[in-house]
Structure 1
Amino acid sequence: MEHHGHNLGLHHTHSSQHHHHLHSGLAPPLGLQVQPPSSVPVNVAPTAPAMACQSLHDHPPKPTLSERISIKVSRTLRRVPNVPGLLALALCSVAFWFGRISLTTSMLPEPAGPVLNARLATLAHATSQRRSLQEKSTEVRLVRTESTAAVLPAIDPYDLNTFEAAVSKGLEALKPAMTPGDTGEAFYRMVPFQILSWYPRIVVFPSFVDKARREEIVTVASRFLYPSGLAYRPGETVDAGQQVRTSTGTFLNGDTTPALRWLEDKIAAVTLLPRANGEFWNVLNYKHSQHYDSHMDSFDPKEYGPQPSQRIATVIVVLSDDKLVGGETVFKREGKLNAKKSISNWTDCDADGGLKYKPRAGDAILFWSARPDGKLDPHALHGSCPVVTGDKWVAVKWIRDQGEYRDE
């Protein structure tokens, strides 16, 4: 038997025995090989089946399309010399997986963009609500816990009468009583501050108010400016050309603009002094060389007579520091041992020493004119230094010991 093949496992065979059986017309039984003796010649007359086989051999039937393709592929592969079997297997594997990946990719859904899970969506919503509460600090609700038997109404913590009544009724209805964290506002306030002095008590709140609100206040106040005045002692007269206070300014009610109301609420929160204890806003503008000599904001009964209420604290909000040089706030008697220090020059900020605060837009400075025991603090003597260049705008809020507590 002759074998003609190649490394792909395709074989072509030719058998003389097979040929013999075709001519004899006798097909061997299935699985049985018939071998005639080589020494005995076999002469068989052609029969009808044998002639038919001979005709098929001489004129084979026309192959089908699939058979022609198989034959063509087989002949093509025979022309490829020395193709390793493993390489062919690897190429087939690569082709198979490439087809699978292409098919899988086409069946994937179109991307719909990032999707927040329920927990992240809830957190984002809560953060948005918290920011809204911080911006609208007058609309405060109390937190309800799992043990809460009643819900306190939405109240304004700066309206002390309503706030106290609501909290009292709510606490009576709650069993057990709420913890301290549940009895106040629904969020924590983050108000940075810096202590400048204990004599007098001075605190600075950086970035206390945003630019938009500052500009709103300046725009409104600019329409009503007039020369700033002074508070005189009984029987005291001052020359019309006095140079003690040379700024221009105006007085505005806290309800004049939303920005002023917002500021009053925030000041009440950081000082724990009700809005009703504050006087009208005094908005001041200092230009070149304008100043305010050192003075006291409180009114000593020994000099001004009996006072139905007393100024105990002052908040100065810096609205603008446009190209400002100078204009500091000076405390000439700052320091524990300087309560009775003599002053040689009430205008010159560089004379007599002391503490000077350089104004910065957005900051608020709080100082106390009264000590914790209620007595006036002489260390609170202060003044506004002359402006060298630029423009200075401030809003001053004087706070008294009487107001919301007047009838107690």
Structure 2
Amino acid sequence: MRLQPVSGPLVIILCIFSFLFGRLTQQGAQLPEPVQLGTARRLGSIVEDTSSIQALASDPVEQKSVAVAESPAPVPQSKVIVNPLDPVDLSTWCLESSGLLKVRPPLPAAASGSDVTYIIPFQILSWYPRIVVFPGFIDKARAEHIVKLAGKFMYPSGLAYRPGEQVESSQQTRTSTGTFLSSGMDTEGVLGWVEQRIAAATLLPADNGEAFNVLHYEHMQHYDSHMDSFDPKDFGPQPSQRIATVLLYLSEVLEGGETVFKKEGVDGADRPIQDWRNCDDGSFKYAPRMGDAVLFWGTRPNGEIDPHSLHGGCPVKKGEKWVATKWIRSRGAMGY
């Protein structure tokens, strides 16, 4: 077969095409690896200088062109928090280092409001029931102050019985010692400070809270699973219902002492309870950490008692456990 001659212009076009194709394939092999934007921004954002934050806030165009670093820059010594478990230190550090107050200063508050910008970290542990943990809610010094104050007034813990109900002491439903402390009993003002912090975290007025019930659990002492809310069918009409509970953990526990929720979970409301004391049946548990606060709701948003909120205190196996309970009611001193 005789080959047809190829015209000069066609040869030139083919050469150009081959050259461009070769360059593209070489360049593709040299492209950098994609940057993990989410991780890089999370790592880098905590050390950004406040001046750059102000510039970004005032220039939306610049926000789109910020280069993401592959690794976080060294943290200046002045921006390293001294004690992240001190809520005041943490709040001050977060607000000052981020520059938030400069770009979003506090607004004028109403008469019943506050000009304080709060930083209160929290984690949602469950929706059934609603359980939230606030890590490092109070510092060690305040926790130890409450323990010392409560230690002067301790007595065996009691129970709230249904009308006419009697329970044999041999059942040992609740074996701790405890006391009630009001903010007026604390001349140092620590309990009042904690009450205001709880009110800010829950958005429930401090007047709606009962006095602190401070409990001390020693070796193998416990509190069987129970409800904090009072069912009108058993206890009669409740003009003011316990709707939420805040547990403030005042000590480290070497082993045991967890707060257990035996009916936690979407399908937990009708779960039969075979052993009200057993804490090793796979139920959801929170292990105490000194300074943490756990908030759980005993009622649903519509006001009905939430059966998921059944809870108890597991036996302390090593060490001791101090905890302050703040029950919050639907109506307070002002009738709200």
TM range (shorter): 0.5 to 0.7
Cα distance in 2 for residues equivalent to 1:401 and 1:336: 25
Instruction: Say yes or no: does 1:393 pair with 2:328.
Output: no
Matched with 1:212 is 141
Q: CA deviation at 1:369?
A: 0.3
Match of 1:300 among 231, 234, 252: 231
Following superposition of structure 1 onto structure 2, how do residues 2-401 of structure 1 map, counting pairs within 5 Å? 163-164=111-112, 185-257=114-186, 258-322=189-253, 324-351=254-281, 353-401=282-330
Say whether the 8 Å CA contact 2:207–2:334 is kept in structure 1: no
Q: CA deviation at 1:187?
A: 3.8
Q: Which amino acid aligns with 1:238?
A: V
Matched with 2:55 is none
Cα distance in 2 for residues equivalent to 1:369 and 1:237: 24
- Which moves more between the two structures, 249-258 or 228-237? 249-258
Aligned partner of residue 289 in structure 1, secondary structure? coil
Aligned partner of residue 212 in structure 1, secondary structure? helix
Q: CA deviation at 1:239?
A: 1.4
Q: CA deviation at 1:350?
A: 1.2
Cα distance in 2 for residues equivalent to 1:325 and 1:317: 18
Cα distance in 2 for residues equivalent to 1:241 and 1:227: 14
The C-alpha deviation readout for 1:289-311, integer Å capped at 9, x for no partner, is 10000000000001111112100
Q: CA deviation at 1:242?
A: 3.1
Aligned partner of residue 367 in structure 1, secondary structure? strand
The structure having more radius of gyration, on CA atoms, is 1
Q: CA deviation at 1:241?
A: 3.0
Q: CA deviation at 1:404?
A: 4.5
Q: CA deviation at 1:377?
A: 0.3
The C-alpha deviation readout for 1:269-325, integer Å capped at 9, x for no partner, is 011111110011100000101000000000000111111210000000000015x20
Cα distance in 1 for residues equivalent to 2:242 and 2:330: 6
Q: Provide TM-score, normalisation by structure 2.
A: 0.66
Say whether the 8 Å CA contact 1:274–1:404 is kept in structure 2: no
Alignment: residue pair count: 235
The C-alpha deviation readout for 1:163-220, integer Å capped at 9, x for no partner, is 34xxxxxxxxxxxxxxxxxxx5434211100000000000000000011111110001
Cα distance in 1 for residues equivalent to 2:330 and 2:174: 26
Cα distance in 2 for residues equivalent to 1:398 and 1:261: 15
Q: Which amino acid aligns with 1:243?
A: Q
Cα distance in 2 for residues equivalent to 1:233 and 1:381: 17
Q: Which amino acid aligns with 1:396?
A: T
Q: CA deviation at 1:259?
A: 1.2
Q: Which amino acid aligns with 2:121?
A: P
Gaps of 5+ in 1: 1-118, 125-130, 136-142, 144-151, 158-162, 165-183
Say whether the 8 Å CA contact 2:244–2:327 is kept in structure 1: yes
Percent same amino acid among aligned pairs? 60
Q: Provide TM-score, normalisation by structure 1.
A: 0.55
Q: Which amino acid aligns with 2:321?
A: K
Q: CA deviation at 1:405?
A: 4.9
Cα distance in 2 for residues equivalent to 1:299 and 1:226: 24
Cα distance in 2 for residues equivalent to 1:382 and 1:291: 12
| TM-aligned CA distance change 1:378 to 1:259, over 3 Å | same
Q: Which amino acid aligns with 2:251?
A: S
Cα distance in 2 for residues equivalent to 1:197 and 1:286: 26
Q: After the TM superposition, list the runs of 4 or more consecutive aligned residues in structure 1 that deviate by more than 6 angstroms.
A: none
The C-alpha deviation readout for 1:345-366, integer Å capped at 9, x for no partner, is 0011113x32100000000000
Gaps of 5+ in 2: 1-50, 52-77, 79-87, 93-100, 102-107
Cα distance in 2 for residues equivalent to 1:251 and 1:186: 31
Cα distance in 2 for residues equivalent to 1:334 and 1:405: 33
Cα distance in 2 for residues equivalent to 1:308 and 1:186: 33
Cα distance in 2 for residues equivalent to 1:268 and 1:395: 15
Q: Which amino acid aligns with 2:216?
A: N
Cα distance in 2 for residues equivalent to 1:212 and 1:255: 19
